[in-house]
Amino acid sequence: MSGLGPKEMAEVLSVQAGEMLRIWRLARHSIQPETLPGLADDALESFFAALGPALARGAPAAEVAGALAGLVRLPPGPVDGAIAEEWDVARQVLRAACESLGAPEPGATWLDEAAAASCQAVLGAVRGEAGAQRTLVPVRVFSGMTLRPRPG
């Protein structure tokens, strides 16, 4: 175990944000191969970029959601499940990173809470909830995207 402290973990997250996004995109594509890019791709790019700086300044995990920005693609039909699934994949990427780095449990918990708050912010924007983040822009897409039920 490396015993990463918050500063070291923040540095790793900042330096590896692009790599975590790349891993997320590959993993997300394996569960939603017909959807390119991901529905919340822009939001997740800003999410991974915000993690390191937020942790470095000791911000509460939920504050990461305030850094989200970009388009959220909405194909016809319900999308809450597909968006939540994309954020579950982000959590898996973060858990794997924590395990590989030997990060302490408080850091892993902080990351999970940041992902949960960010997922809720995206869903709030998609639903048009009052007070939803204005930096997240839901865009209805009518061609090239269809959500199909996952087999099994």
Smallest Cα–Cα separation from 6: which of 87, 89, 101, 100? 101
DSSP letter for 13, please. H
- Sketch the domain layout of the chain as residue ranges: 6-140
Q: What span, in angstroms and rounded, lies between the C-alpha atoms of 123 and 72?
A: 9
Residue 1 has pLDDT above 50, yes or no: no
Phi, then psi, of 52 in degrees rounded to 5: -60, -55
Biggest distance spanned by C-alpha atoms of the chain: 48
By CB atoms closer than 10 A (0-12, 13-18, 19+), residue 104 is middle
Asked if residue 73 lies in contact with residue 37, where contact means CB atoms within 8 angstroms, the answer is yes
Q: Which helix (H) or strand (E) holds 3?
A: none
Residue 116: count of CB within 10 angstroms of its CB: 15
pLDDT tens digit string along 57-112? 999 999 999 999 999 999 888 899 999 999 999 999 999 999 988 888 899 999 99
pLDDT tens digit string along 4-39? 788 899 999 999 999 999 999 999 988 877 777 889
pLDDT score at 24: 96
- pTM of the full structure: 0.89
Please name the residue ranges forming H helices in 3-149: 6-15, 17-31, 41-56, 80-101, 105-127
